[in-house]
């Protein structure tokens, strides 16, 4: 199964956007699936329903960190940090070019912290339709830039 299929499968099982993206790539980097799902959980709905940066993107940022992130203490800005930051910006720029914004609130046109608006999103199937598209955009961009 490819990354796009894996991400869609996770999302269809009910995992959030960030979880679906990170989990789709976790085996590539030796990250246990359960741990990936737990790490990414708080980033859903634009980071804990703050409706800020899309969870798909934050999942993508974590994937980039897994591949290029700095792990050595005492080295403030080395080549790993520079490459990580460059690719995070590139992912964000490409996503914004496709979708017009990076922010969950603007992507969905709703405040997911409001229970009525969140229920509206569920009733309208927005998580299954719109969010699936954002997940696929991030996975596709990641495959292009990694």
Beta-carbon count within 10 A of 1 CB: 9
Residue 134 burial class via C-beta count within 10 angstroms: exposed 0-12, middle 13-18, buried 19 and up = buried
pTM, full prediction: 0.95
**Whole-number Cα distances in Å, 24 to 36, 50, 105, 123:** 9, 24, 24, 26
Q: What is the mean pLDDT of residues 88-114?
A: 97
Q: How far apart are CA 48 and CA 1, in angstroms?
A: 29
| Displacement of CA 110 from its chain's centroid (Å) | 18
Measured in whole angstroms, how far is the alpha carbon of residue 130 from the centre of its chain?
A: 14
Of 41-45, 62-66, 75-79, where does mean pLDDT reach its minimum? 75-79
Q: 3-class SS at 53?
A: strand
Write phi, then psi, for 52 (nearest 5 degrees).
Answer: -90, -130
- Looking at the predicted structure, is the pLDDT value of residue 77 above 70? no
Residue 99 confidence (pLDDT): 98
Find the radius of gyration of the CA atoms of the chain: 15
Cα atoms in the 13 Å half-sphere on the side-chain side of 53:
16
State percent of the chain over pLDDT 90.
92
Counting Cα atoms < 13 Å in the Cβ hemisphere of 34 gives: 0
Residues in the chain: 146
Helix axes 55-68, 33-40, angle to 10 degrees: 130
């Amino acid at each position: 199964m490819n990354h796009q299929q894996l991400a869609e499968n996770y999302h269809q099982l009910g995992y959030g956007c960030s979880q679906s993206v990170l989990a789709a790539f976790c085996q590539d980097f030796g990250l246990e699936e359960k741990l990936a799902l737990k790490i990414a959980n708080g980033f859903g709905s634009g980071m804990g329903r703050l409706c800020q940066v899309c969870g798909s993107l934050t999942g993508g940022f974590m994937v980039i960190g897994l591949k290029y992130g700095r792990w050595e203490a005492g080295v403030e800005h080395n080549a790993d940090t520079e490459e990580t930051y460059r690719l995070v910006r590139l992912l964000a720029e490409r996503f914004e070019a496709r979708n017009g914004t990076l922010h969950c609130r603007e992507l969905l046109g709703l405040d997911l912290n409001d229970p009525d608006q969140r229920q509206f999103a569920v009733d309208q199937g927005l998580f299954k339709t719109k969010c699936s598209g954002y997940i696929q955009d991030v996975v596709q961009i990641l495959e292009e830039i990694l």
